[in-house]
Amino acid sequence: MTVRAWDEETALAHIRELESLPGALLPILNALQDEFGYIDDAAVPLIADALNLSRAEVVGVVYFYHDYRHAPPGRHVLRVCRAEACQAMGGESLAEYLQTRLGVPMGQTTIDGSITLENVYCLGNCALSPAVMLDGDLYGQVSKAAADQLVREARRNVS
Amino acid sequence: MTRVFVPIDAAALSVGAGRVADAIEREAKSRGAEVTLVRNGTRGMLWLEPLVEVETPSGRVAYGAVTPKDVPSLFEAGFLDGKAHALSLGPTESIPYFAQQERLTFARCGVTDPLSLDDYTNNDGFAGLKRALTMEPAAIVEEVFSSGLRGRGGAGFPTGIKWRTVLNEQAEQKYIVCNADEGDSGTYADRMLIEGDPFVLIEGMTIAGLAVGANQGYVYLRSEYPHAYRTLRRAIEMAREAGYLSENVLGSGKTFDMDVRLGAGAYICGEETSLLESLEGKKGVIRSKPPLPAISGLYAKPTVVNNVLSLATVPIILSRGARFYADYGVGRSRGTMPFQLAGNIKQGGLFEKAFGITLRQAIYDFGGGTATGRPLRAVQVGGPLGAYFPESLLDTPLDYEAFAAQKGLLGHGGIVVFDDTVDLAKQARFAMEFCAHESCGKCTPCRIGSTRGVEVIDKIINDQDRRDNLELLDDLCELMEGASLCLLGGLTPYPVQSAIRFFPEDFDKPAPLQSTAHNH
């Protein structure tokens, strides 16, 4: 996953490109999160200005949706499905294992900054449970050994 | 040139289809074999993925599940001529799981290259649209109405009635909105269809636009589906370039265009009014109904909100006629339903079948029982708001009314199987926890009730005043069901109460030594 450090100019470029869309707020927030990996507080006044919204309205939306992060993630994001189909195939024990293995609870980033661990409620891979998603790539029937392998590869791969 | 098919569906990729495709290309090159690799959608037999197919003079033959390591031996065995190998499955369409199906909505999925307009048109694609262009709007609506098609998202509301309401509204601007916020665990049909046959959704939405007089459509797709997003965006561009979208659809002088928008991880946005708020760039807080979206929907304009599968079924209804479609099914559940087998199931995957087969047939005839080989104990149909059924209810037919009669729901057709290691008290707790996590916060029964629900279930699990707390939980469920504004709070009692009703022993165990802390 390649994200860049927050910079206002890049943010403004995204905002200008999307501001004229009907219902532009989510497309803008999605673009900013894709670019920077999170929604920087400094983005709020820029968006509010462009869309003629109050800052409170923008913040309200940023905090309503589970996807939006409020701080930069690690170099990789590992999302672990916690929903029922994965529960039926040991998803909970996989989630426990990964938290222990990485030494962080869900929603946090490892100390070396390599991996952010997140909950997700369904990746649509329910016939091949348990499922995880690493930086947008989907994995199915993930054993603990396979999860280890993913973590090792992600840590080796610095981008 | 031999055509070899390796799916590009996200589920197939999740178990290595990409590496298998690479290995086949490399091996073909090193052997000088003439191979055209086609990246198709999935046939839906997900336990056989990566499923590799080879086109032979006598039809397509399948091999699965293939790993990159198997590739040299497949070439050695002569798989390019369809010859036998340890992974041979024979002719794809003779595999019993596939042969027993009635594939109407998914007719092309897994067969064609999802992003080939030629493949699409050579396999009946756009036949429905072409017919619709010769019809009056009211006649299109009538055709959909008489097919008996009901909303495949879960509510099962007749699609034709929704369309008729929008058609009868006088407005300068109307919208078609496709609900692709497939958040129910155990469901993946929308994803599979968008990745495997995106043009059918585009065609269905265009027909809907013609039928009700809407010139703009939006697909609201969940962000957890990046593969589907890429495919659909590309398909929309291609359709536009080829004249199927935009001004002057196929030279008819009529306009319809569409866009795809991504959600941002909120289950509630699968509820249609919350979805509309989100499309407008707001928090996904639900709206009170009435007014119905058909009268005042997106930007307060008359709006058709339909699920992916409903819209994707419209083209075949138009091309083959309402009668053809309505001839499938039972009672008031007409046509076919793509069911999705998930969780602890040996042969997990999607199968499309007329309404009316039983849950048992789905799980055993198609699914082959549990994956672990342990006894089945519970089945949750219809996502996180669906009831947990015990073995004794497996003979319930898979149709809307039969499920409603058992206080369950068919929902979006997801069937999640659990073996005997499941703890239904934990599952009931999860149902409340999920509701608390996903509640939009607008109404108190859902917002507060779900949090209280988790607390009460914790007390029950920990054996604190168990009998009183079970009674309290029952009261709470009754309140949530009756007083919540939408089905999130309104149906969360289904999994909770069914767990208590059918699996009382799980609520009567000795208290665990320490309470189970839950990580968020």
Could you give all domains of chain B from N- to C-terminal order, each with its CATH number? 2-99 (3.40.30.10), 117-326 (3.40.50.11540), 329-419 (3.10.20.600), 424-507 (1.20.1440.230)
Chain A contact set for B345 (CB, 8 A): 127
Cβ contact, residue pair B345, A127, below 8 Å:
yes
* Token pair belonging to B402: 């039969």
On whether any CB of chain B is under 8 Å from the CB of A46, the answer is no
Chain B contact set for A122 (CB, 8 A): 182-185, 187, 224
On whether any CB of chain A is under 8 Å from the CB of B348, the answer is yes
| Low-confidence stretches of chain A (pLDDT beneath 50) | none
On whether any CB of chain A is under 8 Å from the CB of B231, the answer is no
Chain B contact set for A94 (CB, 8 A): none
Chain B contact set for A119 (CB, 8 A): 520
Tokens 């056989």 correspond to what residue? Answer: B48
Q: B141 to chain A nearest CA, in Å?
A: 28
Cβ contact, residue pair B265, A120, below 8 Å:
yes
C-alpha distances in angstroms, B107 versus B64, B211, B351, B411? 21, 23, 11, 22
The architecture of the domain spanning A8-64 is: Orthogonal Bundle (1.10)
pLDDT for B22: 98
* Token pair belonging to B365: 């005839």
pLDDT for B514: 64
B-contacting residues of A 57-96, CB under 8 Å?
A: 57, 60-61, 64-68, 83-89, 95
Q: What is the DSSP letter of B251?
A: G
Phi, psi of B231 (to 5 degrees): -65, -45
Question: What is the CATH code for A76-156?
Answer: 3.40.30.10
Residue B363 Ramachandran class (φ > 0 left, ψ -120 to 50 alpha, else beta):
alpha
Cβ contact, residue pair A66, B380, below 8 Å:
no
Do B225 and B196 touch, CB atoms closer than 8 A?
Answer: no
* Sheet with B303-307: strands ordered across: B257-262, B216-221, B175-180, B303-307
Q: How far apart are CA B252 and CA A156, in angstroms?
A: 56
On whether any CB of chain A is under 8 Å from the CB of B129, the answer is no
Chain A contact set for B279 (CB, 8 A): 23, 26
Do B460 and B425 touch, CB atoms closer than 8 A?
Answer: yes
Chain B contact set for A57 (CB, 8 A): 282
Domain boundary assignment for chain A: 8-64, 76-156
Reported ipTM exceeds the 0.90 cut: yes
| Low-confidence stretches of chain B (pLDDT beneath 50) | 519
On whether any CB of chain A is under 8 Å from the CB of B230, the answer is no
On whether any CB of chain A is under 8 Å from the CB of B82, the answer is no
Decide the pairing of beta strands B414-419 and B336-343: parallel
On whether any CB of chain A is under 8 Å from the CB of B10, the answer is yes
Q: How far apart are CA B97 and CA B119, in angstroms?
A: 24
Q: How far apart are CA B349 and CA B44, in angstroms?
A: 5
Which DSSP string do the residues of B154-210 spell out, in sequence order? TT--BHHHHHHHHHHS--S--EEEEEE---STT--HHHHHHHH-HHHHHHHHHHHHH
pLDDT for A13: 98
Is the torsion defined by CA of A118, A119, A121, A123 positive or negative?
positive
Cβ contact, residue pair A126, B371, below 8 Å:
no
Which DSSP string do the residues of chain A spell out, in sequence order? -------HHHHHHHHHHHTTSTT-HHHHHHHHHHHHSS--TTHHHHHHHHHT--HHHHHHHHHHSTT--SS---SEEEEEE-SHHHHTTTHHHHHHHHHHHHT--TT-B-TTS-EEEEEES--S-GGG-S-EEETTEEE-S--HHHHHHHHHHHHH---
The residue of chain B nearest to residue A87, with distances taken between CA atoms, is: B343
pLDDT for B513: 77
pLDDT for B347: 98
Q: How many CB pairs under 8 A join A and B?
A: 162
* Token pair belonging to B499: 């767990």
Closest CA to B188 of B106, B114, B112: B106
Chain A contact set for B428 (CB, 8 A): none
pLDDT for B230: 98
Q: A9 to chain B nearest CA, in Å?
A: 23
Q: How far apart are CA B48 and CA B35, in angstroms?
A: 22
- Give strand pairing partners of A109: A116
